[in-house]
Amino acid sequence: MGRVNAPPAAERPGRPGRTGWRDAAVTAAVGGAVVAALFRYNLGGASAATGQFGRTWEEYLLVNVAALLGPALLTVLVVLRERAGSWGLRPAAPGAARIAWTLYGLMLPVLIIAASQPEFHHLYPLQPQAADSWRHFVYHETTYAFYMLCWEFFFRGFLLSGLRRGIGFTAANVAQAAAFCVLHLGKPAPEVAGSFVAGLALGWLAARARSFLPGFAVHAGVSTTFDVLAIHARGGGIL
């Protein structure tokens, strides 16, 4: 049999060492600063029930996308001098699509029940105009999907990949899911609690797939499905 080459040191999960702890510390510092800044900005003294957190949709997206992508990419490419592929930006491992579809299927009953509740179908879609015309609906779902991509890169790519080098997968997964949950504060309580569980599941999927892209597909699919169900449940809109 031929010799199987070991993965590069940067990709070996759960092996603390000088480099691993350094990477984890840098990740924690940058990630913590981003989460704190976005938490303050996104809430901004307003409830998520405003639909756009008291700001225009475009401003909200621009600030969040810049915060989620900029510091993390600079850290990976400039500070740590690594390729983004080592941090989850690469094609998924075989079998990941099947797991992603399974997770989506498990979420469907939850989405159907939640969308029937007024606290949800009066909040979603976050851009209210999306319920009134197909043009606004497509615009909202397209821009929101890109926003979800940035979230998955930050939480299941940057945070999970960096933290696990120093503290191992389990602790890193809990940490990124907790941070993910923090940025859901201000939304209905069931969604806040569910975001932690979803964060754990998406982190597990990212580890299995060696990529955050399947998690993005699940996240975006769930979001769009929920918007459709919410519009239908509320009535009087395009659905």
pLDDT tens for the chain, residues 1 to 239: 334 343 443 444 444 556 899 999 999 999 999 999 999 999 874 544 444 556 789 999 999 999 999 999 999 999 999 999 989 999 999 999 999 999 999 999 999 999 999 999 889 999 999 999 999 999 999 999 999 999 999 999 999 999 999 999 999 999 999 999 999 998 999 999 999 999 999 999 999 999 999 999 999 999 999 999 999 998 877 87
Distance CA 139, CA 99 (A): 29
What is the secondary structure of 92-126 as a DSSP string? PPTTHHHHHHHHHHHHHHHHHHHHTSHHHHTT-SS
pTM across the whole model: 0.87
Q: What is the pLDDT of residue 47?
A: 43
Rg, the chain, Cα only: 18
Polymer length in residues for the chain: 239
pLDDT at res. 10: 40
CA dist 113 → 58, 68, 109 (Å):
30, 31, 6
